[in-house]
Amino acid sequence: MINKNQKANNATTQNFLKIATIEDGFVILKDGGVRLILMCTPLNFALKSETEQNAIIAEYQNFLNALEFPIQILIQSKTVDLTSYLQQLEERRLAAQNPLLERQILDYMEFIRKLVQIANIVDKKFFIIISWQNPVTETKGFLAKFRAASNQKIPLDETKFQEAKRDLTEKAKVVASALASMGIQAVQLNTKELIELFYQTYNPELSLSQKLIDPQSLTSTYISREK
């Protein structure tokens, strides 16, 4: 039997986060605020000519100067895990009928292993976060913060949520259009992608070895993990 003290120790991670829920590709915070997150394709600036680089810088300056609302830029870096890729190569090697092809795959696998040991291969992802704040919490800032800190969710009714979605969607279009002029594609993360993003962010090491069976499980009381 689980006693009360043990139950208290099993407090869920969600209790310590500012996120109340994720719905329709939007992050709803406990203080009633809503966030939209765009994932942006990387741009290999170093390979551009000087003329192209100057043009991109000018476009970026114009983009920042023209913004009428705040944004946050997030760069997430993590070491690339090639375990699954090596497993796929091993399966192809075992299925190869040609001894020469099998040898080539084996050599290539050895090359990949040595490369990982020598070089620190890092995958970088770029995100832009756009905010919408509930007018109720803006006028009652201290109370909102106190309630959010004590894990009391401030309700966000459907009317306000739809208002937030419209506002954030329009702002996202402005940002995506400006970035497109620089050759950068910006796509809004859906609910599944947002859940996976936060899971990987709060569990950088664990997420490499233990994948979520169902990303929606992050909204449940306790999270199940792949064994």
pLDDT at 31: 86
pLDDT at 140: 54
CA–CA distance, 131 with 69 (Å, rounded to integer): 9
pLDDT at 177: 95
CA distances, 127 to each of 31, 72, 122 (Å): 22, 8, 16
Residue 212 in this model has a pLDDT that exceeds 80: no
- 224 pLDDT tier (thresholds 50, 70, 90): very low
Q: pTM, whole model, 2 decimals?
A: 0.71
The per-residue pLDDT of the chain, averaged, comes to 81
Hey, what CATH topology would domain 16-77+124-138+154-202 get?
Alpha-Beta Plaits (3.30.70)
Note the pLDDT tens digit of each residue in 75-114. 988 777 788 889 999 999 998 888 899 999 999 999 998 8
Helices of type H across 67-98: 83-95
